[in-house]
Amino acid sequence: MTRQVVITGLGMTTPVGGDVESSWRTVLAGTPGISIINEPWTHDQPSKIAGIMAVDPASCLAPHEARKLDRSQQAAIVAAREAWADAGAPEIDPDRLGAVVATGMGGLISLISSYDLLLERGASRISPHMVTMIMPNGSAAQIGLEIGARAGVHTPVSACASGAEAISYAARMIQEGRADVVVAGGTEAVIHPITMAGFAAMRALSTRNDDPAAASRPYDIDRDGFVMGEGAGIMVLESAEFAAARGAKIYGVYGGSGLTSDGHHIAQPDPQGRGATRAIAEALADAGLSASDIVHVNAHATSTPQGDIAESAAILAALGSHTGNVAVTGTKSMTGHLLGGAGAVESIFTVLALRDRLVPPTANLHNLDPQINLDVVGGAPRPLPAGDIAALNNSFGFGGHDVALVFRSA
């Protein structure tokens, strides 16, 4: 019998709030956190807009802590401290405590600024913390160190599916008996001219610079690409027995996960969403649920023309005739795309939707694309039914990574 995994602590810092409570309130209100990037370097950028963290994570840390951490690591630490405190800082044998924190690009900005410093002032001026600031496993390692995790510290890297993959990995550590408590999630902070130029070169970014709040509009007919975001989401996963023994507050239950790959193209989704369909089916099977149990999907929904259609096809294929009973939302319409942080932040939103029985709306959904055959929640939040309910969170990444997670109400 597989060990049941529950969620006992949540933390985040995002473009819509500096913590879980404020972020959740803002997405329920349908308010986007997207703005113009107020930097001179945007002058020749096709996309000049982003979801910048509402609260600078460095301002939440002591200066001597912040200086040793890449911005993505600062965000991860801030979110992890919130989640750990929210879980009641469980007393646990360190050998039974793990940390799995993902990122898509790691400490890219620290790498670039260090290189600028190297050119300007020479090799001797490079910080001794540069290597640990840029390594992708840095956030997982820093969080693991802070809580004293010795069961294992890991960092899945699968672009925009990374955060969801981390939660799957963490849950499996508990199911397999390697750990009783795992702090898991994802982080990203790469709003920089080089990344903006790179994604723009792929024609992946929205260029609705004259109306930033309306730029991220998943499933709307007028969507024109994703909006870059930054931030982190962290949850505390715990074996149900351990949580029960210490009387922990339980937000929801981890149901299962499905992880597949497209085998189609390095950056474009399979137009029929076949990999995603299999991921959803595997997640349902892993959770021991059927399509009829799902009442809500927090979709990957990046607001790219192709991606949203492929995901719609996948959800329809996986949930079949039950699709019409499922309230779908795209919270990237408000947060922008947090890349390696997205799957974790959106998993937290999924868990909160189950807890509050309320699905946040998709902002900027004015004209549903006729190619989208989903019941997309727009305008106001949508109530969910009473009783035992379950929801899906989808995350896909460049490279053809497909991750689906199932959560159940507590």
Partner 1 sequence: MSQQILEGLAAIVNEVAGVPVADVQLDKSFIDDLDIDSLSMVEVVIAAEDKWGVKIPDSEVKNLKTVGDAVTFISANVK
Catalytic site residues? 160, 300, 337
Q: Which is nearer to partner 1, 122 or 370 (CB)?
A: 122
Element housing 375 (H / E): strand 375-376
Contact assessment for residue 371 and residue 273, using Cβ atoms and an 8 Å cutoff: no
> C-alpha 409: how far from its chain's center?
19
40, 43, 124, 370: residue in contact with partner 1 (rule CB under 8 A): 124
- Tell me how far apart the alpha carbons of residues 321 and 312 are, in angstroms, rounded to a whole number: 14
Minimum distance from residue 117 beta carbon to partner 1 (Å): 11
**Cα dihedral angle (365, 366, 371, 375), rounded to 10 degrees?**
60
Residue closer to partner 1 by CB (options 58, 317) is: 58
One character per residue 155-184, x = contact with partner 1 (rule: CB under 8 A) = ------------------------------
- Cα-Cα-Cα-Cα dihedral of 252, 253, 254, 255, to 10°? -130
User: Which residues face 103 on adjacent strands?
Assistant: 187
Token digits of residue 304 = 């790219």
CB of 39 to partner 1, least distance (A): 26
**Going by DSSP bridges, is the β-strand pair 401-409/327-329 parallel, antiparallel, or unpaired?**
unpaired
Residue number, 131 or 240, with CB nearest to partner 1: 131
Residue 122 binds partner 1, judged by CB under 8 A: no
CB closer to partner 1 out of 68 and 322: 68
Alpha helix ranges (H) inside 152-270? 162-175, 193-201, 240-245
Residue 123 binding partner 1, by CB under 8 A? no
The site string for partner 1 over 46-85 (x = CB under 8 A, - otherwise) reads ----------------xxxx-x------------------
129 binds partner 1 (CB under 8 A): yes
Tell me the site size for partner 1, rule CB under 8 A.
Answer: 10
Nearer to partner 1, 25 or 121 (CB): 121
Q: Which of 40, 128, 263, 387 binds partner 1 (CB under 8 A)?
A: 128
Q: What are the Cα distances from residue 42, in Å, to 37, 169, 237? A: 7, 37, 40
Contacts with partner 1 by CB under 8 A lie at: 62-65, 67, 124-125, 127-129
